[in-house]
Structure 1
Amino acid sequence: MSADRAPLRRALERGEEEGGPIEFKTRLTRDTHLADGRMESLAAQLRHRVLSGDGEATYVVGVDDDGAIAGISPDAFSESMDVLSLLADEADAHIEDVETWGIDGGDGEGLVGVATLREGAMLDREDDEHVVVGTAGHVDHGKSTLVGTLVTGERDDGEGGTRSFLDVQPHEVERGLSADLSYAVYGFDDDGPVRMDNPHRKSDRARVVQEAERLVSFVDTVGHEPWLRTTIRGLVGQKLDYGLLAVAADDGPTKTTREHLGILLATELPTMVAITKTDAVSDERVEDVEDEVEAMLREVGETPLPVERHGIDAAIEEIGTVVPILRTSAVAGDGLDDLDTLFEALPKRESDADAPFRMYVDRSYNVTGVGAVASGTINAGSVEAGDELLLGPMADGSFRDVEVRSIEMHYHRVDQASAGRIVGIALKGVEESEIERGMALLPRDADPEPVREFEAEVVVLNHPTKIGDGYEPVVHLETVSEAAIFSPEGGRLLPGDNGNTTVRFKFRPYLVEEGQRFVFREGRSKGVGTVRSIDT
C-alpha cells in the first residue's frame, strides 16, 4: 500500500472495535439505510462512534466488516457519502473530509474511501452573515498578500509569503503572480476574528466555516494585464457584496488600477481602497499616494473618505455613497485591525434568496467518487442536495436534466446553500467534459430560453476611434466570456458615448436576462452595458 494511502492503512490496522471511533461499511444506500427505524439506529451508532473518538470518527467505505477491501463503483460511493451525510446530520455531526483511492478489480473501476466525521451540525448560518468581497489591483500591488495576512493573522515576510495561501497553480507560486481566481475565507465570533492556521489544509477552511458566526469570503482576482479577462470574470461573474481595490504605496495608481476601478464601479459595487506596502515608503510618500487615489476617485465622480482622517466608523456607515481609503501593511500590520472591524460590521447587500434558484458556472472539475462538479456563486434562491435542475444552454441551445448529488462550501459539505454562497455542486446526469463556464443551473420547471441576441444600452469607456457595425469585442456577462458582434443604433459609437446596440453572441447562446450588467473589451477598447431586451 503506497504512502498516500496512509490514512486507509492506519484505519484498517486499527480495525473496527466495539466502543471505538472506526466503522467499516461496504456501502450505504438510501433504500436500505434510510428506511424507517434503520436510520435512527445507524445515526445512534454514528453518534456513539463520534463520542468514542472525543468528537471525531472515521468511516471506511468500500471495505467488508472484516476489513477486507471490496471496492464499490463511483456511483455507489457517491450515494454512500450522501447517506452518510444525512446520518451525520441526524447525529449532530458532519463530514469534514473524504479521501478516496482507486481499487483494481475484475469488475472494473472500484473505490474505497475514508471519511472523517466531526461532532457538530453542518453549517447553518443566515445569508446576512456571509459577506463576499472581490479584490482587484495592479500586479504586485499586494492584494493577495493582504488577503493572505487577513485570513491567517500572519504578518508577511516582505517577500509576499502569505500570498502563497491563495495561489493555486504551481507556476503562480514559482513566478509570484496569480493567473486565475483564488478564494479565501475567515470569519468572526463573539471573541473576534476566526482565522485559518493552515489555509492549505482543507479541514482548516472547514473549521472556520463551522466555527465562525459571520463569514467573509474573498474572490481574489488577477493583477497582471494579460489576464485582465480573468479579473473581469471575477468581478462580473461572482455575486459580490463589496470590492477591495489595492494600490501600492511604492507605485501609486496605474492604468490597470483605473481599469479595475472602472469595472468595480460599472457593476455598482460598493468599493474600498487599501493603500498597501505603507511600511516600504516614507510617511510623505503615503500621503502623496493617498492624494493621488482621492484625485482618481473624484475624476470618476466618487467621493473619497480617508479613514486616517475620518475614522473607521464613518467608513462603515457611509460605504456605498463614499469610497473608504485605508492605509495598510501586511508586514507591519498597519490598518489590519481597521479592516477586521470593517469586515465584521459591513452589512450583507440585499440578495435574491427568495427568488428561484440560479447559478452561473465559473469552473468545473471531476472528483473521484463524486463525479462532475460545477462551481460558482449562487445568484439567486437556494439549492439542496437531491434537487432536480437544468444545466445549460448547451451549444445547440438545449438544457440538460441533472440532479444535485452534494454541495460543498470552502471544503465543508452542506445540505443547502443560498444566494451569495460560493459553492461546488456535484451533479448527476452529466459528464464534467460537457460542463462549460458560462452555463447556468436552474430549477427543473424554469422553462428557460437560450439567448443568442439581445438589445443593450452601453457606455464606451475607451476606444481609439469609433465602434461601428460588425465590431467584435469579448462580452463578460455573469461568468460568460464570449465573442459578440455589435450593431450600434445609428451605425457608430464614439469614446464616451452612451448609446444602444444589438449584441449577438458569435458562436453559441447563453442564459441572458433583462437588467444584467456586462463589460466588453477588445484590445484597448473597453466599455460597460446593461441588457435592455431579449431576442430569443
Structure 2
Amino acid sequence: MSADRAALRQALEEGEREGGSVEFKERLTRGTHLSDGRLESLVAQLRHRVLSGDGEATYVVGVTDDGGIAGIPPEAFSESMDVLSLLAEEAGAHIENVETWGVSSDGTAAKRGIGPIDTEDDENGLVGVATLKEGAVLDVDDDHIVVGTAGHVDHGKSTLVGSLVTGDPDDGQGGTRGFLDVQPHEMERGLSADLSYGVYGFDDEGAVRMDNPHRKSDRARVVEEADRIVSFVDTVGHEPWLRTTIRGLVGQKLDYGLLVVAADDGPTKTTREHLGILLATELPTIVAITKTDIVSDERVEEVEREVERLLRNADKTPLPVERHGVEAAIDEINEQVVPVLTTSAVTMEGLPVLDELFERLPKTSATEGDFSMYIDRTYSVTGVGPVASGTIRSGSVEAGDELLVGPLADGTFREVEVRSIEMHYHRVDEASAGRIVGIALKGINEADLDRGMVLLPRDADPDPIREFEAEVMVLNHPTRIDDGYEPVVHLETVSETVSIHPEGGQLLPGDSGTATVRFKFHPYLVEEGQRFVFREGRSKGVGTVTDVTPAE
C-alpha cells in the first residue's frame, strides 16, 4: 500500500485484538445491527474499543473479520456509516473522520479523494476507515453570528477577514487574503470570484482563532472550542461578479454587514452599490475604512468625511466608533445607525475594536418557527452522498429528521432524510436558525438538487408559485422600467430571470410602486415579507413580496 493509504495499512497491521482499539466490520445494517439485543452488545463493544484507545477507536468497514479486503457497494457503505453513527451516539462517542478507498478487482484498495462517487470506478465496492472519538457530537448554542462583507475590488475585504480569523498581520501584499481565496485562478489573480467562508470565535479567555484556515480540522477546532462563533460570508468586489455579491448578501441569513472602504481609494461607484444593497435589505452594517497604514492622517480624515456624507445621503446616521466608543456602537447599531471605524490589516489598527464588536453584538437573524433552509450550494461526498449547504432560515434540524426538498423542475417536493449535519467541517447533531451548515441527504441524487430549492419539515404543505405581487423601488436605471422588463431577481438563494409588470405601466429611477413579478422558467417557494434585489446590466432595484399567487 502507498503512503496515501497509511490509515488503512496501519489499522490492518494492528488488527482486531482483545484490549485493542481497532474493530473490523464487513458492513452494518439497520435491520440486523440495530435490532433488540444486538444493539446493546455493539454499543458495549464500541465503548470498549474507545476506552482501549484512550478515547479514540478505529473502525474499518468493508473488510472481513480476519482483515481481508472485501469492499461493499457505496449504498451499503453509507448505511454502515449511519448505523455506526447511531452506535457511537449511544456509546457517548462520535465519528470524527472517515477515509474511503475504491476496491479494485484484484482485492487491493486505491485511495479515493472526497468527491462524487463514480459508479463504474466503485463497481467492486468501498472500504473505509472511520475514526471515532469519546464525547458526544458537538452541540453548539445559539450564540453564533454571520457577517457578510462587501466593498470595491482590492479594498481589502478578504485580507481584513483573514487577519481577523487568524490574528496575524498582513504582509502588505494581501497575504492573509489567501486564507479565503479558494479557487486556483483566484490565488493567481488575487481576486475572489466566489463566496468564501471564514470563522473564528470567543471563549472566556478571549478570541479563538485559526492557525491554518486551509485545514478543515482547524475550522472544526474553532467551532468546538469557542463559546461564541463568528462566520464570515466574504463576497466579491469586482463589477463582473456583482451577481455573486448579491447572492452572498441576499442569499445568506446574515446578522450584520461589514462594508470596507480603502483609505487610498475612498468610496467608489461599487461602494455605493454595495452599500445600497446592504441598506435596502435592512441589514445592520459596520463600515471599516481599511489600508490606513499607507496614507496620511489627513487622507484618513478626508475619507471618513466622505463615508459619513455617503451615509447621510442614504438617510443613515454615521457613528464614528473612535469618537463615541464601542459601547455606543453596540447600543446604537441598527438599520439606521452605521458605526464607522478605521483599520489596517498590516498594523492591526482597529482589529481589536472589531473583535470586541463581534464578541458582544447580539444576534439579529434568529427566526422562530418550523425549520426551513434555502439551498445555496450542492455537492456530493464519497460514502455520504449528496449534501445541501446554506444558512438555516428558521427553526432547527437534527440528524435523522425527515424533510421535504423542492420545488423540483415540475414544482413537486421530494421526501428526504437527514443523514448528518456539518458546520465548518465539524459534525453537529443539531443546528438552528442563523447557522451555515452542510446537510447530507438520503433519498435524492445530487444532480436533482439546485440552488434556490428549500428544505422544509415533512409535514409542511408548500405551495410553489410562478408569480407574486411586490412593492419595488428602482435604485438605478438609464431610462425607465416598462411593462415586461426582464431582470434577474435574487431572493433568498433564488437567482432567476423574471418579468416585471409595474402597476401603471412604468417606473422611473427613484420611483417606488406596486408590480407583478413572474418567474420565467421555474416555480419557487416565496413568502410574503421576503425582500429581494433585481438587476440587469446597470439597472438595479429592490423589493418586498406583498402577496403570493399559487401557480394554476
Matched, 1:150 2:164: yes
The 1-side partners of 2:395 and 2:342 are apart by 37
The 2-side partners of 1:53 and 1:139 are apart by 51
Could you tell me whether the CA contact under 8 Å between 2:481 and 2:507 is conserved in 1? yes
Q: What's the offset of the Cα at 1:374?
A: 0.9
Q: What's the offset of the Cα at 1:45?
A: 3.4
Matched, 1:205 2:219: yes
Aligned to 1:47: 47
The 1-side partners of 2:160 and 2:17 are apart by 48
Aligned to 2:109: none
Aligned to 1:125: 140
Q: What's the offset of the Cα at 1:154?
A: 1.7
Matched, 1:356 2:394: no
Aligned 1:178-189 pairs, distance under 5 A:
178-189=192-203
Aligned 1:115-514 pairs, distance under 5 A:
115-127=130-142, 129-320=143-334, 321-353=336-368, 355-514=369-528
Could you tell me whether the CA contact under 8 Å between 2:405 and 2:416 is conserved in 1? yes
Q: How big is each residue's C-alpha offset from its partner over 1:90-137, in whole Å with a ceiling of 9 and x where there is no partner? A: 33332222222222349924112222233332221222x111111111
Could you tell me whether the CA contact under 8 Å between 1:97 and 1:202 is conserved in 2? no
The 2-side partners of 1:197 and 1:255 are apart by 36
Q: What's the offset of the Cα at 1:20?
A: 3.1
Could you tell me whether the CA contact under 8 Å between 1:96 and 1:203 is conserved in 2? no
Q: Which amino acid aligns with 2:306?
A: E
Q: What's the offset of the Cα at 1:283?
A: 1.7
The 2-side partners of 1:361 and 1:323 are apart by 30
The 1-side partners of 2:72 and 2:10 are apart by 20
Aligned to 1:114: 129
The 2-side partners of 1:115 and 1:279 are apart by 49
The 2-side partners of 1:333 and 1:21 are apart by 46
The 2-side partners of 1:196 and 1:35 are apart by 43
Q: What's the offset of the Cα at 1:437?
A: 0.7
Evaluate the alpha carbon distance shift between residue 27 and residue 134 of structure 1 in structure 2; reply closer, same or farther with a 3 A threshold. Answer: same
The 2-side partners of 1:341 and 1:528 are apart by 32
The 2-side partners of 1:315 and 1:64 are apart by 62
Q: What's the offset of the Cα at 1:275?
A: 1.1
Q: What's the offset of the Cα at 1:519?
A: 0.1
The 1-side partners of 2:393 and 2:169 are apart by 34
Q: What's the offset of the Cα at 1:2?
A: 3.8
Could you tell me whether the CA contact under 8 Å between 1:188 and 1:214 is conserved in 2? yes
The 1-side partners of 2:141 and 2:505 are apart by 49
Q: How big is each residue's C-alpha offset from its partner over 1:451-474, in whole Å with a ceiling of 9 and x where there is no partner? A: 101111000000111100111000
Q: What's the offset of the Cα at 1:37?
A: 4.4
Aligned to 1:59: 59
The 1-side partners of 2:23 and 2:158 are apart by 41
Unmatched segments (≥5 aa) in structure 1: none
Could you tell me whether the CA contact under 8 Å between 2:365 and 2:434 is conserved in 1? no
The 2-side partners of 1:407 and 1:212 are apart by 18
Question: 3-state DSSP class of the match of 2:289?
Answer: strand
The 1-side partners of 2:7 and 2:212 are apart by 19
User: Alignment identity in percent?
Assistant: 79
Q: Which amino acid aligns with 1:336?
A: L
Q: Which amino acid aligns with 1:425?
A: I
Q: What's the offset of the Cα at 1:43?
A: 3.3
Q: How big is each residue's C-alpha offset from its partner over 1:330-379, in whole Å with a ceiling of 9 and x where there is no partner? A: 111111111111111111115224x1111111111111111111111111
The 1-side partners of 2:284 and 2:180 are apart by 23
Matched, 1:515 2:529: yes
Q: What's the offset of the Cα at 1:219?
A: 0.9
The 1-side partners of 2:31 and 2:440 are apart by 21
Q: Which amino acid aligns with 1:202?
A: K
Could you tell me whether the CA contact under 8 Å between 1:122 and 1:210 is conserved in 2? no
Q: What's the offset of the Cα at 1:163?
A: 1.3
Question: 3-state DSSP class of the match of 1:332?
Answer: coil
Q: Which amino acid aligns with 1:407?
A: I
Q: What's the offset of the Cα at 1:3?
A: 3.5
The 2-side partners of 1:21 and 1:289 are apart by 62
Q: How big is each residue's C-alpha offset from its partner over 1:306-342, in whole Å with a ceiling of 9 and x where there is no partner? A: 1111111211111114211121111111111111111
Evaluate the alpha carbon distance shift between residue 287 and residue 119 of structure 1 in structure 2; reply closer, same or farther with a 3 A threshold. Answer: farther
Q: Which amino acid aligns with 1:263?
A: I
Q: Paired residues, what number?
A: 534
Of 196-205 and 79-88, more deviation after overlay is shown by: 79-88
Aligned 1:78-97 pairs, distance under 5 A:
78-97=78-97
The 2-side partners of 1:153 and 1:323 are apart by 25
Aligned 1:24-39 pairs, distance under 5 A:
24-39=24-39
Q: What's the offset of the Cα at 1:443?
A: 1.5
Evaluate the alpha carbon distance shift between residue 109 and residue 504 of structure 1 in structure 2; reply closer, same or farther with a 3 A threshold. Answer: farther
Q: With the length of structure 1 as denominator, give the TM-score of the two structures.
A: 0.96
Q: How big is each residue's C-alpha offset from its partner over 1:198-231, in whole Å with a ceiling of 9 and x where there is no partner? A: 2111111111111111111111111111111111
Q: Which amino acid aligns with 2:350?
A: G
Q: Which amino acid aligns with 1:159?
A: Q
The 2-side partners of 1:337 and 1:182 are apart by 23
Could you tell me whether the CA contact under 8 Å between 1:96 and 1:115 is conserved in 2? yes
The 2-side partners of 1:362 and 1:117 are apart by 30
Unmatched segments (≥5 aa) in structure 2: 107-121
Q: Which amino acid aligns with 1:525?
A: S
Q: With the length of structure 2 as denominator, give the TM-score of the two structures.
A: 0.93
The 2-side partners of 1:80 and 1:219 are apart by 34
Q: What's the offset of the Cα at 1:501?
A: 0.7
Question: 3-state DSSP class of the match of 1:452?
Answer: strand
Could you tell me whether the CA contact under 8 Å between 1:464 and 1:525 is conserved in 2? yes
